[in-house]
Structure 1
């Protein structure tokens, strides 16, 4: 193989001056673009990126090959795949309407029709799958004594149980506290009522005692029995008692009571009852001296009076 030394030198020079020459070319191109833009040579729409049309490849053989690689020859019990048309609509049949069992028969924009189509298709699939499952000996009903395994562990359930018990205790405490508050309020109310009742009874008793002391009532506040007409007639026959007579004599009985001691012209001029000795304290000095000296009779003491009464 023969290699020309000139070509080697030219390649070395290009490799050594490669980056600098690219920078210079870019600077020249930028300057040229600026000059062209200043002259008005550049117009919109000149520099447009045009994408090449995308080619869609429908490789049917390759897709089939991939599908064959995914597909496995498994029994139906492992796959449980079924393709069914929707079951017959009983309501439409009763109304006399004809419905097509094909998927195109339902309006895809109508939510109700679409959901009913899925429901009837699932119903038809169940009706077709139950005999096949029974044929393969697969149970389709849950036994009466079936207990499902818990998805949570016993430790987690114990934690939940503790939390529930704590919540119940908190609720019980709050209920007890609420009842105690209500009982205290009720107790205070009852206590106030009892105190008010006692005070009322005390006031009534005091008023009864005062009336009894005044003579309005007798026997612990009970009303005194009214006097009968016969007792009144007897009291009128006997007349007032000595105490009433004395008060009538002293204070008067009926009529005008005020102004009795006022002087009048006659009483002012009447001097018949005037006594000079008594008014001037002259005369009868011996009587005073006798009173001071103890010659006047004095009332005996209490003990002496008791003795005299006992003797008599």
Structure 2
């Protein structure tokens, strides 16, 4: 701590030159408190100065000059703390451990609560509004033009991020597609080289098997749905189902008109004339069912030959 030498001890205790601003230094120089000389280092801390009488006078001046609605100063004790479990209120306990954060904050909270309970009725007596009206309009600190610029910047930033993410996904898809295409080409090249090797062996007479030629057919079967057994498991095709719906389902034809136990016992539709070709003849007609039917050509020729 630096200080200027002065013959009077009052100058050492009144001010500290190292902590003064330029304006305060100019005022001190004009008052004659600063004098030329050597600076010396003072050991030890500066003693605090507590002007109690001056502070009380300042407080009294403030209380006398301004009304309470302008000052809003409230000095009250904290609200009585509840015991908790038994529901009874405990008296104010001034013995609070300042090092305990929870106790200290609870004391502040209860003191603020007591100040509100004291100040609100007094404000109502003075007809001072304590609630914000419903149509209250608070103008923003920033203008609409400034907020519009911020919104545009945020939109541009979001669009750039979306574009970057989309480009990243496209690069990943392109890379994956290229990898798959390379694998397919390598597989085809491998199959082709294996087939050429088998063909060369067959031409030289080293092998008499042509199973390698069925590879394409096997692949076609796999693409079209497999063998007939696999198709049978899947059921008939769409064409077969359409034809069954249009023309019928086929089925067993032989023995379809044979009697069953139910048809044998059912005689509701039985007609003797139809079953045996017999019945009562109608008046004015001769013969039975085929009475007026002309004989065939061979029968007529035989009849002619007999008459001769």
Rg comparison, structure with higher value: 1
Higher relative helix content: 1
- Greater relative CO, 1 or 2 (CA 8 Å, sep 6+): 2
- For the criterion TM > 0.5, the same-fold answer is no
- With normalisation by structure 2, the TM-score equals 0.42
